[in-house]
Copies of this chain bind each other. A is one copy, B any other.
């Protein structure tokens, strides 16, 4: 059987350790195309460049490894990869390995998941991997066997259409196991720290904040898994329709 074709991107940029650990892990078993941002894009979500142009430069062309850096967002990278750079539709899209957690509602802000949602929107099995450590020299060694196992399982079994996986690893040397979870309810509070410019009067803001888990007792969430030493796998879908709300509105009158 020929090697699977995998498109890899991230939101930490083409030089990030997590990306290169991923490349090394798959190097022997897959044909890799890497299209990654030319710098950090944390918090890029599914953003795209509609009114400015995007550049893309080849930086590595070796057997089974082709790598580009791109001036766009993580989502732009996937779109460019699929529509312009890869020889065919990839068998898999992978985002990461992210330096930082992407659990619960943070999935909406995540550039890593921007990669993965774009893969899902193209109906390609897609997986995002994130380690709960923001450090640039984080230790990815405990993560890698699970990355390979989860990826191989998805390549064998596939995923439902328009569906992807959001995988998070606690920052621990060893895990208690793997849990398939739902997205937890959590909320950011106290999100801004106000500072004053050296001129003495202009104000500016740093995003900081506290992440409050709203259902810490619920054992089926990704946040529960991560805070209890488990790897979390949260199956995630493109369809955000609120079907229950839709039913509720059946008799609402919108006539004007």
Q: How many copies does the complex hold?
A: 2
Q: Which stretch (A17-25, A59-67, A227-235) binds chain B? A: A227-235
Q: Which stretch (A1-9, A26-34, A38-46, A90-98) binds chain B? A: A38-46
B192 touches A83 (CB 8 A): yes
- In the complex where A79-B207, A245-B163 touch, is A121 in contact with B234 (Cβ < 8 A)? no
B241 touches A183 (CB 8 A): yes
Residues of B contacting A117 in the complex (Cβ-Cβ under 8 angstroms): 108
Q: How far is the CB of A71 from chain B (nearest CB, A)?
A: 9
A50 touches B42 (CB 8 A): yes
Residues of B contacting A239 in the complex (Cβ-Cβ under 8 angstroms): 182-183, 185
B47 touches A47 (CB 8 A): yes
Residues of B contacting A49 in the complex (Cβ-Cβ under 8 angstroms): 43, 207
A240 touches B48 (CB 8 A): no
Residues of B contacting A79 in the complex (Cβ-Cβ under 8 angstroms): 188, 191-192, 207
B240 touches A54 (CB 8 A): no
Complex Cα distance A202/B160, Å? 40
Q: How far is the CB of A245 from chain B (nearest CB, A)?
A: 4
Residues of B contacting A195 in the complex (Cβ-Cβ under 8 angstroms): 53
Chain A stretch 120-155: residues in CB contact (< 8 A) with chain B: 121-123, 145-146, 148-150, 153
Q: Which among A55, A84, A207, A255 has the greatest number of chain B C-beta atoms within 10 A?
A: A207
A146 touches B254 (CB 8 A): yes
Complex Cα distance A111/B46, Å? 10
Chain A stretch 166-202: residues in CB contact (< 8 A) with chain B: 177-178, 180-183, 185, 187-192, 194-195, 202
Q: Which among A50, A105, A180, A191 has the greatest number of chain B C-beta atoms within 10 A?
A: A50
Residues of B contacting A255 in the complex (Cβ-Cβ under 8 angstroms): 149, 177-178
Give the nearest-CB partner of A236 in chain B.
Answer: B240
B178 touches A254 (CB 8 A): yes
A246 touches B108 (CB 8 A): no
Q: How far is the CB of A249 from chain B (nearest CB, A)?
A: 5
Cβ contacts A to B, 14 pairs, < 8 Å: A45-B75, A45-B114, A50-B207, A53-B206, A54-B207, A55-B204, A55-B205, A83-B191, A84-B192, A164-B242, A178-B255, A180-B246, A183-B240, A233-B254
